Amino acid sequence: MANVIINKETCIGCGLCVKDCSNGAIILEDKKAKVNLKLCNECSHCVAVCPQASVSMSDYDENEIIKYDKGRLNIAPDDFLYLLKFRRSVRQFKNKDIESDKLAGIIEAGRYSPTASNRQSNRFIIIKDKLDDVRNSAINTLYDMAVNTDYMKNQPVYRNLFIKMHEDYKNNKGDRLFFNAPAVMVITSENKSGFADIDAGIAASRMELQAVSSGLGVCYIGFLKSAITLNSDIKKLMDMGDNEEFILSFVLGYPDVKYQRTVNRKPADVRII
């Protein structure tokens, strides 16, 4: 556990950290902030809100802290919504590697995503070097599941899809699992609290936005989770720990398709109560 440190020399006793602490872990004592570490969940709100930079946390990299710059946060709402509306699930990718700095930026977007009780339990795996092995194993596993008619008899659409996926891949007619993307991003978790799916979903959404803003395309791949559920050897291929749970995955790459317009959607089902 990190230790929250209050610099008594610079603390002005403004109480902003007290007001913003959701766990009630900070009080004012002799007009100075004081932290009860037993109540602290290391959310770092106290670090962010302090006008004097009087709060720090041991075991955390102080060089990561960025000073507030209002100008850089002024993203026009209409522009942001425009970006969201043009977002498409990309299934055509160029034969081009993704730069390491762009991958690092996507990981940062996930790392800075909120998590339940600030557990920060999301773990990230970038599949690149072992992509062919993981793809081959997953497609074969899905095929084996499909030909097991007892297991798939109530899902004829998926059964036929998995058989066709296997045939195309075997005959070099295409990759209908990863769509020949150069990388697959996987989010795992050791969090047993029941919020792992939500934490990973929030992180993935932000990582996707970072990817799109970097000129990349994304497509979520639910079938990889289906394959891993049936074949634990794929977890070993991905260097997953025994306590890690596979949550979700998406492919990444430079799009080899250009969409010319947005598409229509069903009206939003909204209730104001």
Walk along the chain (273 residues) and give the pLDDT tens digit of each residue. Answer: 568 999 999 999 999 999 999 999 999 999 999 999 999 988 999 999 999 999 998 877 777 888 888 888 888 999 999 999 999 999 999 999 999 999 999 999 999 999 998 899 999 999 999 999 999 999 999 999 999 878 777 888 999 999 999 999 999 999 999 999 999 999 999 988 889 999 999 999 999 999 999 999 999 999 999 999 999 999 999 999 989 999 999 999 999 999 999 999 999 999 999
Region 4-64: CATH code: 3.30.70.20
The tokens describing 92, both together, are 């055509």
Q: Could you give the count of Cα atoms lying within 13 Å of 141 in the half-sphere of its Cβ? A: 20
CA separation for the pair 118, 2 (Å, rounded): 13
Say which amino acid occupies 44: S
Say which amino acid occupies 93: F
Burial of 202 (0-12, 13-18, 19+ CB in 10 A): middle
Q: Tell me the DSSP string of 33-54.
A: EEE-TTT-----HHHHH-TT--
The tokens describing 273, both together, are 């109560």
CATH architecture of the domain with residue range 77-143+159-253? 3-Layer(aba) Sandwich (3.40)
Buried b (16+ CB within 10 A) or exposed e, 236-260: ebbebeeebbbbbbbbbbbbeeeee
CB 37 within 8 A of CB 26: no
CA separation for the pair 153, 96 (Å, rounded): 40
**Total-model pTM:** 0.90
CB 42 within 8 A of CB 21: no
- The reply to whether 77-143+159-253 shares the fold of 4-64 is no
Distant-in-sequence, close-in-space partners of 255: CB < 8 Å, separation ≥ 6: 90, 92, 93, 94, 216, 217
CA separation for the pair 231, 148 (Å, rounded): 14
CA separation for the pair 263, 268 (Å, rounded): 14
pLDDT score recorded for residue 67: 87
For the chain, the domains span 4-64, 77-143+159-253
CA separation for the pair 43, 117 (Å, rounded): 8
pLDDT score recorded for residue 1: 58
Q: What are the backbone angles phi and psi of residue 255, rounded to the nearest 5°? A: -60, 140
pLDDT score recorded for residue 2: 66
The length of the chain, given as a count of residues: 273
The tokens describing 200, both together, are 């990973």
Nearest to 253 by CA among 174, 176, 185: 185
pLDDT score recorded for residue 62: 77
Nearest-Å Rg of the Cα atoms of the chain is: 23
CB 92 within 8 A of CB 257: yes
